[in-house]
């Protein structure tokens, strides 16, 4: 039960960061401060940053094997986003979704590995 609480907290913080960053980028695009090319670039950078932070928080609370915690965290995110994309937007697999899933997995693994090393150095 404690593990699910840690996982839920990391997932919640990641989703909040993702939503806030997406809102800010959309707002800047709406008032013409940034163009669509920058928005497209940030559509790949934003999940990397948010799920990196989520993996970092999960790694700091894990006991060992940060890479395994990152894989679990990344796979949960990928499954949730796949279900959301399939049900809400009726999208299947395309190359941009696959790239986004790979970025999500890698960023959560790296974040969790760094998080567990930050915890061990304290």
Position of tokens 């790239």? 99
51 and 108 Cβ atoms separated by less than 8 Å: yes
Q: What number is the average pLDDT over the span 104-114? A: 91
17-47 tens-digit pLDDT:
999 999 999 998 889 888 888 888 888 889 8
Per-residue CA distances from 92 to 40, 48, 85, 89 (Å): 20, 22, 8, 9
Per-residue CA distances from 78 to 94, 96, 100, 105 (Å): 14, 13, 9, 8
Nearest C-alpha neighbor of 65 from the set 104, 6, 13, 120: 120
Q: Is pLDDT at 48 greater than 70 in this prediction?
A: yes
Confidence category of residue 49, pLDDT binned at 50, 70, 90: very high
Domain boundaries, the chain: 2-121
Mean pLDDT of the chain: 85
Confidence category of residue 84, pLDDT binned at 50, 70, 90: confident
- CA gap 42, 30 in Å, rounded: 15
Is the model's pTM score more than 0.85? no
């Amino acid at each position: 039960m404690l593990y699910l609480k840690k996982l839920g907290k990391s997932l919640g913080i990641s989703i909040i960061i993702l939503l806030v960053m997406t809102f800010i980028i959309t707002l800047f695009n709406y008032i013409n401060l940034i163009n669509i090319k920058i928005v497209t670039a940030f559509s790949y950078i934003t999940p990397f940053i948010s799920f990196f932070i989520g993996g970092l928080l999960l790694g700091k609370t894990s006991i060992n094997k940060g890479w395994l915690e990152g894989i679990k965290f990344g796979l949960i995110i990928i499954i949730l986003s796949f279900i959301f994309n399939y049900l809400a937007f009726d999208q299947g697999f395309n190359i941009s979704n696959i790239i986004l899933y790979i970025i999500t997995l890698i960023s959560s693994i790296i974040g969790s590995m760094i998080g567990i090393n930050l915890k061990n150095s304290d």
